[in-house]
Amino acid sequence: MAMLSEDNAVAVYQHRPQRVTSPWLARYAQLLAAAGARVTGYESAQAGMLFATRSEARAGAIRTALTSRLGAVAAERTGLPGRVL
């Protein structure tokens, strides 16, 4: 967790086989949050991205950028096919 600071964000990308129907990044997001990180990201059935930082402002900016690129619908989804975490 030494990489996490107010000054940076750590990004993680994972690609999964097709037809993964349940949310699968929540476990990792919870572990990072338990360590004091602000976590945001995007999850679909095949790809997932997590961004972790100790800066609330940076996490908010990342979430805003994801929402603007993926659309408001992705931010409002609670499940797959694609959602902003």
Q: What pLDDT does 53 receive? A: 92
Is residue 39 in a domain?
A: yes
The answer to whether residue 1 sits within a structural domain is no
Residue 3 domain flag: no
pLDDT for 52: 92
Q: Could you list the residue range(s) of the whole structural domain that residue 20 is in?
A: 10-79
Within-domain flag for 2: no
Residue 65 lies in a domain: yes
**Do the domain assignments include residue 64?**
yes
pTM check: above 0.85? no
**Residue 14: predicted pLDDT:** 83
- The one-digit pLDDT tens for each residue of the chain (85 residues) are 567 777 788 888 888 776 665 667 778 888 888 988 999 888 877 788 899 999 999 999 988 888 888 776 676 766 655 777 7
What is the reported pLDDT for 79? 60
Please report whether residue 84 resides in a domain: no
Q: How far apart are CA 33 and CA 40, in angstroms?
A: 10
The pLDDT, as a whole number, for residue 12 is 84
- Please count the structural domains in the chain: 1
Q: Is residue 30 part of a domain?
A: yes
